[in-house]
């Protein structure tokens, strides 16, 4: 009876026996051991249900043997797969380690690249600033060279001008008389008639002992070459008659009236005063007096175009600049209304009539 012997020999120390069962190296169990178990496993009296009738304690041992044999069969299939899994996991861990190293190296390269890009951008910015500074310096040098070259010529011109200054001063009295006469009286006349009158005036000045230029040229004495050129860019014709008209219109005390059948003066005035918000009015407009009054009040320029030979009598205070003070303010009466007069107000009048006849008060 092996069971009785086993109980005495093997299971005498129960605690140690259970520890041996639990600590059995089932992972490395040999094939020969499993083969030795086969006769017992095939024995009809070995199943736990049968053994239970003989010994309750033996049931657990039978179950353990059956479980160990089954584990061996399963582990025989699983163990190579575990080995392959462990090998694959090791390869994966190695690959991950390599990846981590590569990522660290890539980050180092990216950081280096970012630093190089920053350095490049800074260099480009510095280069652009240096190029701009070089261009500016070169421009200044060119201007300075031209200025130095020009100053050589200017010195001669200033010396000559200084030498002629006494002669210019000696003629200024007659030239001023001629200019005053031009502005005050010659505006309404033709170019030829003006030339004839100025010739007579020059003779009278000479006869009266008033020193002056031998030939009077209004543009030279009254005008500024730069200003005249600006006017011509704004549409003023370049002939002497048109230039004289422009000079008289800007210097006379009375408002200018242009005989302008071709619309040249009209165009020049609109360009001249465009930046000052010029208001263009016509006597045929029903509310032109209201608009004119507003412009007078706020000091805005006005172009009264296409007037006829007879001017509206209500405009007389405007044409004659009949300004008076009321309550400490400059004022003007237009019709039945008294309005504040702004000294920056300017009036230009044009007509398309080729040969109009105006009263002396108008002309």
Could you list the pLDDT tens digit for every one of the 363 residues in the chain? 555 666 655 555 666 777 887 888 888 888 888 888 888 888 888 888 888 887 787 788 888 889 888 988 898 888 888 889 989 999 999 999 999 999 999 999 999 999 999 999 999 999 999 999 999 999 999 888 888 777 766 677 777 777 777 777 888 888 899 999 999 888 888 999 999 999 999 999 999 999 988 888 777 788 888 999 999 999 999 999 999 999 999 998 899 999 999 999 999 999 999 999 999 999 998 889 999 999 999 999 999 999 999 888 999 999 999 999 999 999 999 988 999 999 999 999 999 998 888 876 666
CA dist., res. 1 & res. 31, Å (int):
27
Q: What is the pLDDT of residue 15?
A: 66
CB 266 within 8 A of CB 272: no
How do residues 286-312 score in pLDDT, each as one tens digit?
889 999 999 999 999 999 999 999 888
Place of tokens 């309005």: 339
CA dist., res. 270 & res. 281, Å (int):
12
CB 349 within 8 A of CB 318: no
Cβ neighbours for 223, distance < 8 A, ≥ 6 positions apart: 243, 247
Full DSSP string of 139-170: HHHHHHHHHHHHHHHHHHHHHHHHHHHHHHHH
Place of tokens 């009286």: 185
φ, ψ of residue 346 to 5 degrees: the values are -135, 145
Q: List Cβ<8 Å contacts ≥24 apart for 262-269.
A: 263/352, 264/235, 264/236, 264/237, 265/350, 266/303, 266/305, 266/350, 267/235, 268/231, 268/234, 268/235, 268/236, 269/303, 269/348, 269/350
The CATH number corresponding to 254-363 among 1.10.3720.10, 1.10.287.810, 3.90.320.10, 3.40.50.300 equals 3.40.50.300
Q: What is the pLDDT of residue 153?
A: 67
Query: And the tokens for 240?
Result: 């002497």
Q: DSSP 3-state helix, strand, coil percentages of the chain (rounded to 5)?
A: 65, 10, 25
CA dist., res. 279 & res. 287, Å (int):
13
268 burial (CB, 10 Å; 0-12 / 13-18 / 19+) is: buried
User: pTM for the whole thing?
Assistant: 0.54
CA dist., res. 197 & res. 360, Å (int):
19
Question: Could you state, in order of their start, the residue ranges of all structural domains in the chain?
Answer: 2-105, 186-248, 254-363
């Amino acid at each position: 009876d092996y069971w009785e012997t086993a109980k005495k020999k093997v299971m005498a120390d129960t605690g140690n026996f259970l520890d041996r069962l639990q600590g059995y190296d089932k992972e490395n169990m040999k094939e020969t051991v499993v083969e030795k178990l086969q006769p017992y496993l095939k024995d009809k009296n070995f199943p736990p249900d049968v053994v239970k009738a003989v010994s309750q304690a033996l049931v657990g041992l039978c179950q353990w043997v059956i479980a160990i044999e089954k584990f061996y069969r399963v582990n025989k299939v699983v163990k190579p797969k575990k080995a392959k899994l462990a090998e694959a996991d090791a390869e994966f861990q190695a690959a991950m380690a390599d990846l981590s190293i590569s990522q660290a190296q890539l980050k180092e390269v990216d950081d280096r690249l970012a630093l190089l890009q920053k350095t490049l951008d800074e260099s480009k910015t510095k280069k652009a600033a240096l190029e701009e500074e070089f261009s500016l310096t070169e421009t200044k040098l060119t201007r300075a060279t031209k200025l130095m070259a020009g100053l050589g010529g200017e010195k001669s011109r200033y010396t000559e001008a200084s030498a002629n200054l006494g002669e210019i001063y000696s003629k200024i009295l007659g030239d001023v008389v001629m200019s005053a006469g031009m502005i005050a009286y010659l505006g309404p006349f033709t170019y030829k008639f003006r030339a004839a009158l100025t010739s007579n005036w020059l003779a009278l000045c000479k006869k009266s002992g008033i020193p002056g230029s031998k030939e009077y040229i209004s543009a030279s004495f009254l005008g500024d070459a730069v200003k005249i050129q600006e006017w011509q860019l704004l549409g003023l014709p370049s002939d002497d008659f048109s230039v004289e008209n422009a000079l008289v219109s800007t210097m006379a005390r009375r408002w200018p009236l242009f005989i302008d059948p071709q619309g040249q003066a009209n165009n020049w005035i609109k360009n001249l005063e465009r930046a000052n918000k010029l208001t263009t009015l016509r006597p045929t407009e029903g509310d032109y007096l209201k608009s004119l009054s507003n412009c007078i009040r706020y000091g805005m320029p006005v172009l009264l175009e296409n007037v006829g030979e007879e001017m509206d009598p209500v405009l007389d205070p405007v044409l004659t600049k009949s300004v008076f003070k009321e309550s400490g303010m400059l004022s003007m009466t237009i019709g039945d209304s008294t309005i504040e007069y702004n000294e920056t107000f300017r009036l230009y009048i044009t007509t398309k009539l080729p040969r109009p006849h105006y009263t002396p008060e108008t002309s």
